Structure 1
Amino acid sequence: MRPSPVLSEVDGRTRVSTTRHYLMCPPAHFAVSYTINAWMNPAVPVDRELAVAQWEQLRAVYLELGHRVSLLEPVPGLADMVFAANGALVIGGIAYGARFRHPERSPEEAAHREWLTAHGGRFVAAEHVNEGEGDFAVTRDRVLAGTGFRTEPAAHLEAQEVFGLPVVSLRLVDPRFYHLDTALTVLDDGVHSGRADIAYYPGAFSAAAQRVLDRMFPDALRVAEADAAALGLNAVSDGRNVVLPEQATGLAAALAERGYHPIGVDMSELAKSGGGPKCCTQEIRA
């Protein structure tokens, strides 16, 4: 795979890719030994070598696209640490740390805090349960925030105080989509285009949340259930290139029609724990 052009234009819409800084954690200890979401089944075997190979492919895609990738050291016994997106939300050099819902993941908090404080910026410890970018999606002028299964609504207010950005609460109602990043992705944050663009699966949200999204993003890409169920929305976009599970073929076609460059990757082994490209990728926004 070769990097795509920096710019593309379809029907007057210009897509601009920008270099990003990502934090990832190798799945050295990946396993499904407990159940904390609808995807996890300890009775289904996990091929750790395959999981590592799929993760390495994802990292290689980012590097080939010119992005910077930093690594978080995996800790023995923390099977879900590969899902680095859940460890914090970082905007403008400020890191708002996670406070995990389930005790199985709580030890990950310290590892993220240590890395983030060691690499500059200001770290803010959370008082309320939140799972980082699992339930927070960022555009240039607001933060979209999920609740219903993991992150508490009080954490949305806490994040608003930390970053000084409006935070919009969205209730998730389908347990398959336990984090916002399984049901919605920011395709274009609007920094360069002036208008944010998102994709989401309406059925994952409450009726009120659907109305909010419809009013805020009337031109959003509404994704079919089949693509959402393939974790297609657990995607990572740099404004033009969109890295998503290769099984979400309908979504990939729709993205191409909008002028994006979809890049399919196989994350099927990590999907056994309910994760995809975005779950594995925390963005460090300077």
Structure 2
Amino acid sequence: MQNIRIKSSLQDFNESIAPVIDHLKELYKKEIRSEHDLKNAIEKRDSFDEQLKTIFTKSFSDPDSWLWNNYESYGIDKFIGWHYIGKEDTFQDKCNNINRTLNNRIEFLDQFSSMLPHLDVILKIEPLIDIENQNIEDILYLILFKLSKLKDDNYYSIEWILAGNGIALPRGDHELKEIIQELLKSYFIKSDYKSYQITVKGELQLGKWQRSRKRKTVKQSKNSIDEVMKELRILGHGQEILFNELEELKKLSTTLNKKNWKQLVKGKIFDLTLSKIINKETATFIVSKILPNEDFKYLLSKGSENL
């Protein structure tokens, strides 16, 4: 799954699909009495599908057509086994089939419409896990984190959460089912077909993971600062004022949240560079060790407004 992004306003999208949903519902209610009616129903369904595909393409950046594939396949697993292989479809079989596909499409679109106010939250990439080095615990944490943010009376798709964050599971749908089963078995989530809500137990587990991650981050921050100070002493680049500032940063890592602490690190190192207490190379070295994902050279070249 690749990242899904919104290209147009959600209001425009909602206004575009609303009449199509109404037409699908009208078609679903209409009784099919003849082959002519059946043919007409299939043609109309296909026509509505084409309209929706155009709307989806216009509204979302979806490189793998993930949303559209979900729309087309939604609900199919509910009816596996109803049709015998090798048996020719009767007129009633064909009517049942078109009605099922229409019902599935309506359910999907209704669910999708209910999620629209929260779609930015669902699809927002959270810097919680390393996409390149993800592990199952990270993925479970991300799912509970997102569902906690979406906590209301609605149920939400875990597939969508993962797709929005660009997470591709190595074993695909099989692994996704295992992850969901693990969350359900642990009573961290509850389900409504393919949508989910976080439970009280899930909230408690999320809190435990968050505290554990904070302790881990603080420990890593302290260790990285200690390593920087050690290397600076070996290289003879350190001054007392620099070491004092680094010691202060180490203490503050236990009290500030990660975002504010990162901003403070960059701000202090930038000020030390501006004051010529350290040069740009030393500043870049320090930040690369403490905040390995930050491009401090770029920040230095552009000035403090980028901090």
Q: Which has the higher strand share?
A: 1
| Fold conserved between structures, TM > 0.5 | no
Q: Which of these two proteins has the greater Rg computed from alpha carbons?
A: 2
TM-score by length of 2: 0.22
| Structure with the higher helix share, 1 or 2 | 2
Greater RCO structure (CA 8 Å; 6+ sep) = 1
TM-score after normalising by structure 1 = 0.24
